[in-house]
Structure 1
């Protein structure tokens, strides 16, 4: 991997330039200052993980004057004023210090080019190319109806629960440019990147940040590798996680009988995921879980024995957990009495959060004793010790902005860090049990550095439909954007999760989602929030037969997937990659948001519209391609319309691939038209 260049500061008669390599990033001039400071008072409301943020500016001033001396850049409103902000160039870092505590807002303006593409931002759901829009960074529930032109009518959700194009579980203030550089804002405060102007990008942050980091490379794969190294590469997933499908059922002991029938239909199964191992709670939103993190003996009698029987059949068992405790469960009082919960700002009582018809306290992840207790009492004693091989580590994005924390830290700064702290204690539990590389967990929430702890992301709670901003296509955008900023392994719920406003799964949606999932690192199903109202993979013979076939495809690809894991460990490249990552020379590839490369050698173009039986595909220029199902060759550099019956999504492999024999073995093996 090529080393990142150092930042160069070039003095000008009326300012200075900051460059990384030969790329101009910041151009500061008296009449066009690159830095602004100010003071603001935030107003942050929250409701069940949905946040409403606004800011009242007390004052704001441009720092026009620059005085460069002693390797420092002192910035002031004019030559007669004292410096209000000082910059220090340290390697590839721009370090910030301010003259007083009154400054709590900083804006930095970076140079842009008209035809420049921008990507990253953590896990984005709606747009892969960020140009032309502003992206705030604050972890929370994305909401439904994220497309304002398609917001649900007569919704059971309140307006606060309708999301926007930028709302995400996993924001990260990092972007990559088609100019072969990347910028990372080293801050957990609320931030926003504004890419609406043609000549400048604006980085806003609600504190004086520690630093801005710049990276550059000769090409985009090298740049992505640098970011993966910076944030910490994800631990590799175990072989069992990719050797078949992980079947999600929440039907008590009936799940075991259903699993047998699913396997009898030919599904390759590697795991059974029963999130209801702790019991269920029926709410108006749907079937929720009892958040006390002890096995429900009525629902799963002798769960440890059941897990042992599954293990003997080479089937792993996975559960569910999150960092909250329901007030009507016994563990809440234990944690509250020990001082392990986040407190109210005005008194020494636990901060209670409404999760929709039940209320919970929050484990204080800044308290080492609370973390140790949760690791030992829940993750180890209740889960790993009874034989679980993994779990969904849910939530992590709800911390209120007025909470009081054990370590005294500002909740406005802790909020975005919270998912990373949550990932860390899950990883620590696996490590202490000596099961790193065998047991695994998956998360939806994140911020900078979550990947070094969390081995697998999942795309969260997509709607059970084909909608542009909520449905199946967002799982593709999520994987590609997160992969660019250091997260190699990603997947989604087959069939989606959220069923609201009359939206329910169709058989076609489940089948198209299974086709997508077969070409991701992990193939896992979910029954959704309203399982009784929605079709499941075992609801009809046609669906189950199709799923069985796609699970066989996924299992057959496991040697190739394992090679991608090894590549990720070395280079930091994600398993699912934007096409432009390897075809930067082909301008047609920059706008391919719903195409992706599965490793270097496989091009996947999932069908994400209802009733489509043919689909447009662009084959990148510079390689020849073979259609996976028919073996028919095609030249690169062309748009095609490909037949895409159910069971044969548009997938191609690169001629000359070292895995060509494996890919060829899948040709003509199934067609569900």
Structure 2
């Protein structure tokens, strides 16, 4: 892997290869262009600005000033990964001139030729700044125009810290992507792109207000997300992204109906833009750059992944009971394999995990034998849990074989604090101090490789794990990493990329590409090329829009447009909230059942979670009703396996198209389809789904796009013409699923057989 110093120089080295071929002073020459960019693109000066054309079609235009800068260090306040961002903009530049346009040589460009603009940014406080912008067509991706902007720091008393790029937008254009978002269109919003804890509530009330009331920003807001993915696709089939190396905090501002402004938190930024024939082709072009997700192991389609905690005897009993009631079980996910630690909370204690990657000898004393026994005797695989931390286990009651924290701390393998010249401590509550492994340190990687291979993979015949966190690297000036020269704030959102890359390289070194399932919640630009499954993070155990069951659909829609084709959620949600003030969130049997329905008809993997306080939640194993509802949903998931496999193999692997598809992808000119976030979606091309996402709801009002299309409700056989809203019954176990006319595939036969056999089933939520 290249040194991170080089990777995070933000492409400044590009300009070492530029040699001017010819140039014109645009203020005096009168040469308006076009200036060729490859064979089909060209830059041309127009009245008050510039545009770039693909043959005769304008794909990008901007009026002066389209480059800007400002001073001021953005404030990030909070604890751990829960960070509140306040934008600080001083000495904002008031104008821009272009002094010259040059044809330059560039190795990365088609024909090794690029176009360079130079000039000044004017009235930036007490000074003017110089800048350079280069446009080129990449030699390996010749269906787009790449750019890089470099702004000089100048001699100002208030040196600039941020760059702005502003370009034209169609007022009727809607925007989608930018990672894990919960709105429908992002039009009229200013969206931060930064990896952090998403919070508890994200704007859903009253939980967000409660969580934010102590000043820690624990509730977040509607734009806090684990992901930092600076790419969007619009309903005009315009695509825009910042490069993998451009990892600083950015804001995408869509509030001006005629403009898009990207505010980037450093003086060098690069990226690309293009115009495709439709939104699907735009995703294909985007993922040609980012990469596409590796294939899932085939075993995930065999049944449910049961999330269980509590030790060997409990796990074995639940597995046997699940199999006995006809619930197909592909695997168990045992996040507590390394042991648990009790923390005091309102009304009941909260169980936390010991982040020390060896089996706990109290809960799982025969870990290796137990894992192998589940697989050989019941055909059930085992998944465990790993994250970016190592916790100090010196007080672990049942002991430990190795204190990995102590070893890494002594060797300075953690992210460091320059003030103390020691580990940058992350506290996850009383009694749980931890360090973040420094993935930029080659010695750490060698040491951690040995741990992962001997204590996680080779010690027991596991099939993967949750690969948690990635969004916690500190952003303070005191933060030090072994092999990074950039500001900690610039590096922060790159860490999820390194974490995904590390895990994939480890799996490949072990030859387990076809067996291992590694699922992540943190993500960065391009990290999808390294992860075979994304999980949408920690949702509340409620029906909320921003952080409950509804948010799952919205997040998957935007993540799919961001290049993450294979996704799933914690069935039932994760976050319980218990307070002394009379406000509590705990999981109901109904929410668990409806969430299972959603997972069956939306996700690439069917996996449940007990939640952060299992004892207050309805669990799939709580009673016979929850067992049977869960087993029913798992069978529905399995029945869709041939259909999912076809889509993932023929469209996701080759084009990057997502499994779950928001209606706008197929109907970009339909104003109603643009407004849909969680209400309905396509599962591949042949199914249209309107899940039940509210309590005590047994009928859905669903919008069917496209007047020319016919939709057949699978449970009743009734067909409807598109271009209208219809109401259909949706009792427990029967989410509104429609066959889309003309797109039926033979791989749907097993699902339709399930519908036929189970149409008379009656499920309860006792």
- Shorter-chain TM-score tier: over 0.9
Which runs of 5 or more structure 2 residues have no equivalent in the other structure? Answer: 1-37, 103-114, 138-144, 395-402, 579-583
1:407 paired to 2:483: yes
Show the counterpart of 1:275.
335
Report the Cα distance in structure 2 between the residues aligned to 1:114 and 1:583, rounded to whole angstroms. Answer: 18
Report the Cα distance in structure 1 between the residues aligned to 2:63 and 2:210, rounded to whole angstroms. Answer: 50
Show the counterpart of 2:356.
292
Which digits, 9 at most, give the CA deviation of each residue in 1:231-275, with x for residues without a partner? Answer: 110101011112211000011111111121122121111000000
Show the counterpart of 2:239.
182
1:516 paired to 2:598: yes
Match of 2:172 among 115, 120, 124: 115
* Contact 2:52-2:59 within 8 A present in 1 as well: yes
My pick for the range that moved more, 189-198 or 143-152, is: 143-152
Match of 2:439 among 365, 371, 395: 365
Residue 252 of structure 2 aligns to a residue whose secondary structure is strand
Residue 372 of structure 1 aligns to a residue whose secondary structure is helix
Show the counterpart of 1:46.
78
Report the Cα distance in structure 1 between the residues aligned to 2:552 and 2:440, rounded to whole angstroms. Answer: 31
Report the Cα distance in structure 2 between the residues aligned to 1:167 and 1:115, rounded to whole angstroms. Answer: 26
Show the counterpart of 1:257.
317
CA gap of 1:379–1:166, structure 2 versus 1, over 3 A, is: farther
Q: CA deviation at 1:129?
A: 1.0
* Contact 1:628-1:666 within 8 A present in 2 as well: no
Show the counterpart of 2:722.
636
Residue 524 of structure 2 aligns to a residue whose secondary structure is coil
Residue 225 of structure 1 aligns to a residue whose secondary structure is helix
1:319 paired to 2:384: yes
CA gap of 1:348–1:83, structure 2 versus 1, over 3 A, is: closer
1:219 paired to 2:302: no
1:571 paired to 2:571: no
CA gap of 1:134–1:380, structure 2 versus 1, over 3 A, is: farther
Which digits, 9 at most, give the CA deviation of each residue in 1:395-431, with x for residues without a partner? Answer: 1101110221001332112110111111111111111
CA gap of 1:351–1:6, structure 2 versus 1, over 3 A, is: farther
Which digits, 9 at most, give the CA deviation of each residue in 1:565-622, with x for residues without a partner? Answer: 1021111101111122123354432222121111111111111111111001122323
Residue 46 of structure 1 aligns to a residue whose secondary structure is strand
Q: CA deviation at 1:547?
A: 1.1
Report the Cα distance in structure 2 between the residues aligned to 1:56 and 1:115, rounded to whole angstroms. Answer: 30
Match of 2:426 among 347, 350, 353: 353
1:103 paired to 2:185: no
* Contact 2:202-2:208 within 8 A present in 1 as well: no
Show the counterpart of 1:593.
677
Show the counterpart of 2:62.
27
Report the Cα distance in structure 1 between the residues aligned to 2:282 and 2:178, rounded to whole angstroms. Answer: 15
Q: CA deviation at 1:63?
A: 3.4
Match of 1:431 among 504, 508, 511: 508
Match of 1:344 among 417, 420, 426: 417
Match of 1:15 among 44, 49, 63: 49
CA gap of 1:381–1:401, structure 2 versus 1, over 3 A, is: same
* Contact 2:76-2:84 within 8 A present in 1 as well: yes
Which digits, 9 at most, give the CA deviation of each residue in 1:112-150, with x for residues without a partner? Answer: 2222110001121x2131011111111111112322654
Residue 92 of structure 2 aligns to a residue whose secondary structure is strand
State TM-score, norm by structure 2. Answer: 0.84
* Contact 2:337-2:360 within 8 A present in 1 as well: yes
Show the counterpart of 1:507.
589
* Contact 1:546-1:672 within 8 A present in 2 as well: no
Match of 1:608 among 678, 689, 693: 693
* Contact 1:628-1:663 within 8 A present in 2 as well: no
Show the counterpart of 1:93.
146
Report the Cα distance in structure 2 between the residues aligned to 1:190 and 1:581, rounded to whole angstroms. Answer: 28
* Contact 1:15-1:66 within 8 A present in 2 as well: no
Which digits, 9 at most, give the CA deviation of each residue in 1:303-334, with x for residues without a partner? Answer: 11111111112211000010111122511111
Show the counterpart of 2:29.
none
Show the counterpart of 1:65.
97
Show the counterpart of 2:553.
476
* Contact 1:384-1:433 within 8 A present in 2 as well: no
Show the counterpart of 2:752.
664
CA gap of 1:154–1:205, structure 2 versus 1, over 3 A, is: closer
Q: Which has the larger radius of gyration?
A: 2
Show the counterpart of 2:467.
393
Count of matched residue positions in the alignment of Structure 1 and Structure 2? 667
Q: CA deviation at 1:448?
A: 0.3
Residue 132 of structure 2 aligns to a residue whose secondary structure is strand
Report the Cα distance in structure 1 between the residues aligned to 2:41 and 2:559, rounded to whole angstroms. Answer: 26
CA gap of 1:664–1:655, structure 2 versus 1, over 3 A, is: farther
My pick for the range that moved more, 242-251 or 589-598, is: 589-598
State TM-score, norm by structure 1. Answer: 0.95
CA gap of 1:614–1:604, structure 2 versus 1, over 3 A, is: same
Which runs of 5 or more structure 1 residues have no equivalent in the other structure? Answer: none
My pick for the range that moved more, 240-249 or 142-151, is: 142-151
Residue 617 of structure 1 aligns to a residue whose secondary structure is strand
Report the Cα distance in structure 2 between the residues aligned to 1:170 and 1:383, rounded to whole angstroms. Answer: 27
1:489 paired to 2:566: yes
Report the Cα distance in structure 2 between the residues aligned to 1:394 and 1:427, rounded to whole angstroms. Answer: 14
Show the counterpart of 1:307.
371
Match of 1:138 among 181, 194, 205: 194
Q: CA deviation at 1:197?
A: 1.6
* Contact 2:357-2:455 within 8 A present in 1 as well: no
Report the Cα distance in structure 1 between the residues aligned to 2:210 and 2:494, rounded to whole angstroms. Answer: 35
Report the Cα distance in structure 1 between the residues aligned to 2:683 and 2:576, rounded to whole angstroms. Answer: 29
Q: CA deviation at 1:76?
A: 1.6
Report the Cα distance in structure 2 between the residues aligned to 1:575 and 1:56, rounded to whole angstroms. Answer: 39
My pick for the range that moved more, 342-351 or 219-228, is: 342-351
Q: CA deviation at 1:348?
A: 2.2
Q: CA deviation at 1:450?
A: 1.1
Q: CA deviation at 1:152?
A: 4.8
Show the counterpart of 1:551.
634
* Contact 1:380-1:429 within 8 A present in 2 as well: no
Q: CA deviation at 1:44?
A: 2.4
* Contact 2:339-2:353 within 8 A present in 1 as well: yes
Q: CA deviation at 1:391?
A: 0.2
* Contact 2:283-2:561 within 8 A present in 1 as well: yes
Residue 397 of structure 1 aligns to a residue whose secondary structure is coil
Report the Cα distance in structure 2 between the residues aligned to 1:155 and 1:280, rounded to whole angstroms. Answer: 24
My pick for the range that moved more, 41-50 or 484-493, is: 41-50
Q: CA deviation at 1:379?
A: 4.9
Report the Cα distance in structure 1 between the residues aligned to 2:762 and 2:642, rounded to whole angstroms. Answer: 25
Report the Cα distance in structure 2 between the residues aligned to 1:39 and 1:82, rounded to whole angstroms. Answer: 12
CA gap of 1:239–1:440, structure 2 versus 1, over 3 A, is: same
Report the Cα distance in structure 2 between the residues aligned to 1:23 and 1:379, rounded to whole angstroms. Answer: 53
Residue 527 of structure 1 aligns to a residue whose secondary structure is coil
Q: CA deviation at 1:106?
A: 0.8
Which digits, 9 at most, give the CA deviation of each residue in 1:267-291, with x for residues without a partner? Answer: 1110000000000112236221111
